[in-house]
Structure 1
Amino acid sequence: MAARAPLIGIVDSGGPAGQMQDSRAFHAEGDGPARPDRLGHGSAVAAMLKRAAPDVRLRHAQVFDEKPVTSADRVARAVDWLAADCDLILLSLGLAADRAVLRDACTRAAERGVILVAASPARGAPCWPAAYPDVIAATGDARCGWNDLSLLPGNIIGAWCASPEQGGKGMGGASLAAARVAGHLAAHLDEARGDPFGWLAAQAIHVGPERRRAAAR
């Protein structure tokens, strides 16, 4: 029997119409059917995941509508829904405040063995859920080509983020880097599942903001 393709949950603005059959929207007043992506951001991160791991299955939890604004409660409900079946959840977003409802949802997902990856800003104050201990924090690193990773201070994983230095165009930044980190894991899930952060760190060719691992020279 063929191995089951990994199921990756995406908490974002949804995806293109062809990916929305098994999706859900989480609104302030409750949840319901999702609509195709109106912002384009969820579609962009989904495309990155498919480029990295073409065989993965995707499930969208829509927490953005026409604007990139959401709440901890909406994101937490999305995480709980996805954690029931997904191997990995990508949260290509960051919230400015720590909220118990979101922290608890991430803890529940991690206790089920779900891998969580979230966007972390390259500079400035922490954001959530990336700052939670159960979540792998990812940010953009202009040194990283498509196949590269870096290990940055604070145990943050750096990755390709569509930066101009690497030939990127259009959307970029930490949210795209989180998608790229999730793609690395999705493509090597059997190897990485036991210690996903450790697996990512072991792949890093850049360690710290300037030093380069000797073996990669």
Structure 2
Amino acid sequence: MIRVALIDGPLRPDHPALVRRNVLRPGDTGAAEGGHAAAMAAALLAGCPDARIENLVVFAGGLTTNAACVADAMEDARGADLVLCAFGMTRADPALALATARVLEGGAVIVAAAPARGAPVFPAAFDGVVSVQGDARCGPTDWSRLDLPQARFGACPALAPHPGVAGASVAAAHFAGIVARHLAGGAPGADAIALIARTAPHQGRERRGLAAAPQPG
């Protein structure tokens, strides 16, 4: 069983994949249930239906939080096989950087959203974090190897059952499902990411009207 720490808003307590929920940011969790976190869980589970989710709530009643809350959630995620952060913070907070490093040292994979434009966001821009942006070439089951400054991978930026949620966050969740599936097959985290990079259906950034140049494995 693959345990995924979903650092996001709240899932409903009766969500079938939920094994634990920790509300780190007080607020109206009832109003937020079924929103952004539910969409992220749906994309994740589409790639790995057997994944089990630890829901670490840093958004409650809206999509705003702070670095200290996210750092606490990252600390709480230690012990998970995979951590999904389908959002980005604008500042490289030292506490969040330390918590992220501890999770990585424990052997977990961290997948985080990285917008295609603008300044770097965190934790996606921290060393060792798998950064993902939306790629219009990708369907829900495939991905791209981009190796761009802001994102190493791309994935599907849309989720049909949740048309109001799109972009890098959905792409990160889809990609997390792909990673979770490889981890469930017994591959260590680093080996899983290396294999995913080698076998990406799309290699290189999207170039309209041109074929993407293949990249070495």
Q: Does the CA contact (< 8 Å) of 1:163 and 1:173 recur in 2?
A: no
Once the two structures are superposed, what CA deviation does each residue of 1:108-165 show, in whole Å capped at 9, x if it has no partner? 000000110000001111100000012100111001112221112225210011179x
Task: Report how far residue 21 of structure 1 moved.
Answer: 5.8
1:145 aligns with 2:139: yes
2:120 paired residue number: 126
d(CA) in 1 for partners of 2:128, 2:152: 13
d(CA) in 1 for partners of 2:71, 2:43: 24
2:70 paired residue number: 75
Q: Does the CA contact (< 8 Å) of 2:19 and 2:53 recur in 1?
A: no
Q: Which amino acid aligns with 2:94?
A: A
Which of 4, 7, 30 aligns to 2:3? It is 7
2:153 paired residue number: 157
Matches within 5 A, 1:26-105: 26-27=24-25, 35-36=29-30, 38=32, 40-83=35-78, 85-105=79-99
When residues 6 and 36 of structure 1 are mapped into structure 2, their CA distance, relative to the original with a 3 A threshold, is farther
Q: How many residues align?
A: 204
2:21 paired residue number: 23
Q: Which moved more, 1:196-205 or 1:182-191?
A: 196-205
SS in 1 for 2:83: strand
1:212 paired residue number: 212
Task: Report how far residue 94 of structure 1 moved.
Answer: 0.2
d(CA) in 2 for partners of 1:42, 1:119: 14
Task: Report how far residue 198 of structure 1 moved.
Answer: 1.8
Task: Report how far residue 47 of structure 1 moved.
Answer: 1.2
Task: Report how far residue 178 of structure 1 moved.
Answer: 0.5
Task: Report how far residue 214 of structure 1 moved.
Answer: 6.0
Once the two structures are superposed, what CA deviation does each residue of 1:49-86 show, in whole Å capped at 9, x if it has no partner? 12211111111000001111111110111011111x21
d(CA) in 1 for partners of 2:179, 2:28: 26
d(CA) in 2 for partners of 1:21, 1:106: 22
When residues 34 and 145 of structure 1 are mapped into structure 2, their CA distance, relative to the original with a 3 A threshold, is same
Identical pairs, percent: 33
Task: Report how far residue 44 of structure 1 moved.
Answer: 0.6
Q: Which amino acid aligns with 2:182?
A: H
TM-score (normalizing by structure 2): 0.85
Task: Report how far residue 192 of structure 1 moved.
Answer: 5.3
Task: Report how far residue 17 of structure 1 moved.
Answer: 2.6
d(CA) in 1 for partners of 2:77, 2:162: 30
Q: Which amino acid aligns with 2:170?
A: L
Q: Which amino acid aligns with 1:200?
A: I
d(CA) in 1 for partners of 2:42, 2:142: 18
Q: Does the CA contact (< 8 Å) of 1:118 and 1:130 recur in 2?
A: yes
TM-score (normalizing by structure 1): 0.85
Q: Which amino acid aligns with 1:108?
A: R
Cα RMSD for the two superposed structures? 2.5
